[in-house]
Amino acid sequence: MASQSVKEWIQEEHAEVSFKLTMEKQEDILHIKAEGERTFKTLMKITEQIMEACRQNNTCRVVVDVRAMGGKLNTWETFKLVTSCFSRVRNWHVLRKAAIVDREDARSRYKFLETVADNRGYNLRVFEDTSEAMKWLAL
């Protein structure tokens, strides 16, 4: 089956957030590459943009590559991201499965993200390899 491809990019710059998202839909998975500084407000805005893109592209699975992003969230910000922003995502009934691809040096931080998300019923995993993320999304 030939893959359906929808390409677009979103770039936002405000006093508090600055990022760029590149999106491509292949079959029923939305592939996103994110660039910018990893701050709580930026990741909140990126999450909202991803949810809107899933809704508009009628897809419920997404892989987000954040390896080009700098910075990191602290433990409290990670917890808040899941408990405040992700709760709005659940209400939209849009996203069923999300894979995040990040650098190996960030893996320990993302174990906490996975645990908090899993404890709240979100189907989210972090990978260091895009092909592994795609295998998991296909399950």
Query: What pLDDT digit, counting tens, does each position of 38-74 carry?
Result: 999 999 889 888 988 888 888 989 999 999 999 989 9
High-pLDDT (> 70) share of the chain, %: 83
Which residues, 6+ apart, have CB-to-CB distance to 81 below 8 Å? 40, 43, 44, 47, 73, 113
Task: Give the C-alpha distances (Å, rounded to integers) separating 18 from 33, 38, 81, 102.
Answer: 14, 9, 17, 19
Distance of alpha carbon 117 from the chain centroid: 12
Domains of the chain: 5-138 (3.30.750.24)
Q: Classify the C-alpha dihedral 45-9-94-78 as positive or negative.
A: negative
pTM above the 0.75 mark? yes
Q: Are strands 29-37 and 97-101 parallel, antiparallel or unpaired?
A: unpaired
Question: How sure is the predictor about 15, in pLDDT bands with cuts at 50, 70 and 90?
Answer: low
